[in-house]
Amino acid sequence: MLSIVFATSNPNKTREVKEMLPEGFAIKSLQEIGCTEEVPETSPTIEGNAIQKAHYVRDNYGVDCFAEDTGLEVTALDGDPGVYSARYAGPQRDATDNMDLLLKNLADKSDRSARFKTVIAFTLNGQTHTFTGIVNGTIATKKTGKDGFGYDPIFLPENHKISFAEMDKKQKNEISHRGRAMAKFLAFLDQLPD
Give catalytic residues, as residue numbers.
69
Closest CA to 4 of 28, 32, 39: 28
Q: Is 139 helix (H, G, I), strand (E, B) or coil?
A: strand
Please give the Cα distance from 169 to 191 (Å, whole number): 27
Report CA torsion sign: 183, 185, 189, 191: positive
Cβ neighbourhood burial of 172 (10 Å; 0-12, 13-18, 19+): buried
Strands (E), 60-170: 65-74, 81-82, 113-124, 127-139, 155-157
Give the 3-state secondary structure of residue 42: coil
Question: Which letter does DSSP use for residue 22 in this model?
Answer: P
Cβ–Cβ < 8 Å for 69, 83 = yes
Interatomic CA distance for residues 155 and 133, integer angstroms: 16
